[in-house]
A and B are shown apart, each in its own frame.
Chain A
Amino acid sequence: MKKTLVVMAVVTSLFFCTGLFNGAQAQSKTPYKIGFIVPLTGYLSWLGEYMKKGAEVKVEMINRAGGVNGRPLELVSYDDQSLPETATRHAQRLISRDGVVAMMGTGTAVVSGAVSSVANKSKVPAVIQSGYALSDKETFTFNNAHPTDFAISRPMMYFQKKGISRVALLMPIGPLGELGSGIARKHAPTYKITLVGEEKFDVKAPDVTTQLAKLRTLNPQAIMAFTTGEPAALLARNMAQMGMNIPLVVSHGNATPGFLKLVAQTPGTVIVPSGKIMATETLADTDPVKKVVVEFSRAYQAKYGEPANYYSGQQADAVALIAEGLRVTKSDDPVKLRDAIENTKNFPGCNGVYNMSPTDHQGTRTEDMILLTIKDGKWAVLD
């Protein structure tokens, strides 16, 4: 008991000493704390790794350039284990214990939805990155990921340009497939596209030639499948087997090195909607996002020895949006920060040019997406 007291006394006095010692300097340079919830373990860990790297690079870049309003940014990161419960707990902790000015992160609609709900209850701004659809009541949440709608309307825009009007849907059984199917039906008339038929498939099935054979009888000019990873690659493989030489559009979650490996050897045209960061070399000099994208990619490559991708760029944008908000408001007040982010205009990022408003908490447009395809085992820009 006595020992513990002595230890505690020593620790406390040390704590105060260092506090006094640094006091003068720290006063003017208290960092802005940004809470970062990221899936570093669990089934989204592949994504979490890119998010973490992207955020770290962007924070370093900003701090190296003198920080925001003379104050550095500091990331307070927690692993949500890809679980909404854990994400909720960490979001609460970030606000009540760590005192962050804003939060950002995480993967999937469910997990980032959990973060959004905490943010709105506590009235602290959150910039999330997922397919989560914000409601009007979630006034403190921004979602800087390209909305799911873009991933379907962007390829349709391309089809219209190429004179492709007959499209078939092949959607996974489950909520994601329902979502994709609904969005496709909503946007098809806008781009003068006739949806000739729709089939569903089990993502765990070892073969989908049955569904493809049924769709083939309807003579589609392209197939849209809102699916990611192995099932998407299996569709491409089965289409090649059947000699179906028409484009296959898969979801924007596929712009990863892992997916590239799965389909690199498969003949046929696989179309993956993605962000401009995947096409750094081909961007026109007049492109407003070129400077931001190239600088970020260079810093990322230098730090991690691998090219930046869609997810790391998206996370960097979240950091940049929060930093820009802080720069404008010059205040730690969460409501003022929210208002500042909400008024972001013509702000270039990796995902496009952000124009936020009270009714648009997303910011980018369909045209900010690009379409990738695979040529000689590498990503190539299709449109």
Chain B
Amino acid sequence: MNEFSTLVQFFFSGLTSGSVYALIAVSLVIVYKVSLLICFAQGEFFVIGALTMVTLTSKGLPMPLAFACSVLISAAVGALVERFLIRPIRDASVGSLIVMTIAISLALRGLALLIWGKESKILPPFSAGKPIGVFGATLQPQVLWIIGITILVLLVIWLFFEKTTMGVAMRACAENRLGASLMGISTEKAAFLSWAWGSGIGALAGMAVAPLLFMQYSSGVMPMVKGFIAMSVGGLASIVGAVVAGYLLGVVEAYTIGLISSQFSDTIVFTLLIIVLIFKPSGLFGATRSREV
């Protein structure tokens, strides 16, 4: 094995980790865009989606149907959480709301433990087949699935938020809740839908990356942390930014481990985060215009 194939393997490794981080970052951004809230329970929707799919496929449901059902079930759970736990305190401070999402995260994790137990579950890859070999380096085909799904998600989100009335209304709520409600938009409905979207995409992220990992009730913690970093670097409210930052994070980590040392990978990632936040507080893709009241 030569030097070059090793360098390519580092890149593939980064792509694999990055694909995990990017999708969950997208789901965080969706909720943030509409309700200006960072939902710390996203990691749990990630787990619930993946484990629901494991259960459904093991019951003999075909892969695509299980996939769709799991997204819908998770979206429904997210919507219910918004309706019964977030809406009653929506006028509370952002701090209280964030604490609420942390509480929800712990509760959902406990629920997942009750339903699926402690043992890790395996979800088979979406397509069988050998790893893809390029220049002596290998990539799991599942990573291509994840990249494809990510592009599809970006497209669907773009269509919904730019081209449908409901989508535009939801963006309006994010810009100015009072203004939007004066225009006859139901802000409650918008928040409800944003949670459904966010948890649905969080679940989708979990299902897509599950074949790369081993899924159990607490598997959402690591992706949540990395997804949050990607979200911050990408500019909090930028979906494309979150994706780019997610993959960037994965690749930077891999090359740090490969060329320097695995002991420093976290240090270097957080240093980069600090540098980005100092020089471009709005993130790489964040809007620079200021919000006016």
Q: Which residues of B contact A234 (CB under 8 A)?
A: 213-214
Given A207-B13, A214-B258, A262-B214; A241-B140 close (CB under 8 Å): yes
Q: Which residues of A contact B284 (CB under 8 A)?
A: none
Q: B23 → chain A, closest Cβ, in Å?
A: 12
Q: Is the CB of A200 within 8 A of B138?
A: no
Q: Which residues of B contact A212 (CB under 8 A)?
A: 9
Given A209-B12, A241-B131, A258-B120; A202-B17 close (CB under 8 Å): no
Closest A residue, CB atoms, query B212? A206
Q: Is the CB of A211 within 8 A of B262?
A: yes
Q: Is the CB of B214 within 8 A of A230?
A: yes
A296 part of interface (Cβ distance < 8 Å): no
Q: B124 → chain A, closest Cβ, in Å?
A: 8
- Distance between Cα atoms of A274 and B266 in the complex (Å): 34
B282 part of interface (Cβ distance < 8 Å): no
B150 part of interface (Cβ distance < 8 Å): no
Q: Is the CB of B9 within 8 A of A210?
A: yes
B-contacting residues, A102-140, CB 8 Å: none
B265 part of interface (Cβ distance < 8 Å): yes
- Distance between Cα atoms of A230 and B262 in the complex (Å): 19
Q: Is the CB of B214 within 8 A of A213?
A: no
Q: Is the CB of B138 within 8 A of A243?
A: yes
- Distance between Cα atoms of A353 and B214 in the complex (Å): 38
Majority DSSP secondary structure for residues of B touching A = helix
B-contacting residues, A160-217, CB 8 Å: 173, 199-202, 204-214, 216-217
Q: Is the CB of A217 within 8 A of B214?
A: no
B39 part of interface (Cβ distance < 8 Å): no
Q: Which residues of A contact B258 (CB under 8 A)?
A: 210-211, 213-214
Q: Which residues of B contact A205 (CB under 8 A)?
A: 17
Mask, B147-172, CB within 8 Å of A = 1, is: 00000000000000000000000000
Q: Is the CB of B120 within 8 A of A206?
A: no
- Distance between Cα atoms of A210 and B13 in the complex (Å): 6
B35 part of interface (Cβ distance < 8 Å): no
Q: B269 → chain A, closest Cβ, in Å?
A: 11
Q: Is the CB of A45 within 8 A of B118?
A: yes
Given A46-B118, A230-B120, A241-B138; A207-B261 close (CB under 8 Å): no
Q: A46 → chain B, closest Cβ, in Å?
A: 6
The residue that B16 contacts in the complex, of A204, A209, A214, with Cβ under 8 A, is A209
Q: Which residues of B contact A200 (CB under 8 A)?
A: 261-263
- Total interface residues on A, CB under 8 Å, equals 31
The residue that B265 contacts in the complex, of A202, A207, A243, A265, with Cβ under 8 A, is A202
How many contacts between A and B, using CB within 8 angstroms? Answer: 86
Looking at B17, B20, B119, B257, which has the most chain A CB atoms within 10 Å of its CB? B257
Closest A residue, CB atoms, query B265? A202
Q: B131 → chain A, closest Cβ, in Å?
A: 5
- Distance between Cα atoms of A241 and B138 in the complex (Å): 7
Q: Which residues of B contact A242 (CB under 8 A)?
A: 9, 131, 138
- Distance between Cα atoms of A200 and B14 in the complex (Å): 16
Q: B22 → chain A, closest Cβ, in Å?
A: 12
Closest A residue, CB atoms, query B16? A207
Mask, B1-16, CB within 8 Å of A = 1, is: 1010110011011101
A-contacting residues, B179-228, CB 8 Å: 209, 212-214, 216, 221-223
A288 part of interface (Cβ distance < 8 Å): no
Interface size grouping (class) on chain B = 35 or more
Q: Which residues of B contact A208 (CB under 8 A)?
A: 13
- Distance between Cα atoms of A8 and B221 in the complex (Å): 53
Closest A residue, CB atoms, query B255? A210
B276 part of interface (Cβ distance < 8 Å): no
A229 part of interface (Cβ distance < 8 Å): yes
Q: Which residues of B contact A241 (CB under 8 A)?
A: 131, 138, 140
Closest B residue, CB atoms, query A207? B16
A-contacting residues, B256-276, CB 8 Å: 257-258, 261-263, 265-266
- Distance between Cα atoms of A2 and B158 in the complex (Å): 77
Q: Which residues of A contact B131 (CB under 8 A)?
A: 241-243
Q: Which residues of A contact B265 (CB under 8 A)?
A: 202
- Distance between Cα atoms of A214 and B16 in the complex (Å): 17
Q: Is the CB of B120 within 8 A of A213?
A: no
Given A230-B214, A261-B122; A214-B222 close (CB under 8 Å): no
B254 part of interface (Cβ distance < 8 Å): yes
Q: Is the CB of A213 within 8 A of B17?
A: no
Q: Which residues of B contact A59 (CB under 8 A)?
A: none
- Distance between Cα atoms of A201 and B17 in the complex (Å): 13
Q: B105 → chain A, closest Cβ, in Å?
A: 17
- Distance between Cα atoms of A214 and B138 in the complex (Å): 14
The residue that A216 contacts in the complex, of B1, B16, B122, B213, with Cβ under 8 A, is B1
A356 part of interface (Cβ distance < 8 Å): no
Closest B residue, CB atoms, query A213? B9
Q: Is the CB of A214 within 8 A of B6?
A: yes
Looking at A201, A208, A216, A241, which has the most chain B CB atoms within 10 Å of its CB? A241
Q: Which residues of B contact A243 (CB under 8 A)?
A: 131, 138
A-contacting residues, B109-136, CB 8 Å: 118-120, 122, 131
The residue that B122 contacts in the complex, of A45, A209, A262, with Cβ under 8 A, is A262
- Distance between Cα atoms of A205 and B16 in the complex (Å): 10
Q: Is the CB of A217 within 8 A of B17?
A: no
Q: Is the CB of A204 within 8 A of B222?
A: yes
A233 part of interface (Cβ distance < 8 Å): yes
B63 part of interface (Cβ distance < 8 Å): no
- Distance between Cα atoms of A375 and B223 in the complex (Å): 33
Known pairs A217-B3, A229-B120, A265-B122; list 14 more (Cβ under 8 Å): A202-B262, A206-B20, A206-B209, A206-B212, A209-B13, A209-B16, A210-B258, A213-B5, A213-B9, A242-B131, A243-B131, A243-B138, A261-B122, A262-B120
What residues of chain A have their CB less than 8 Å away from a CB belonging to chain B? 45-46, 173, 199-202, 204-214, 216-217, 229-230, 233-234, 241-243, 258, 261-262, 265
| A–B complex contacts, Cβ < 8 Å, 10 sampled | A207-B13, A208-B13, A209-B16, A213-B10, A213-B137, A217-B6, A230-B213, A233-B214, A242-B131, A262-B214
What residues of chain B have their CB less than 8 Å away from a CB belonging to chain A? 1, 3, 5-6, 9-10, 12-14, 16-17, 20, 118-120, 122, 131, 137-138, 140, 209, 212-214, 216, 221-223, 254, 257-258, 261-263, 265-266
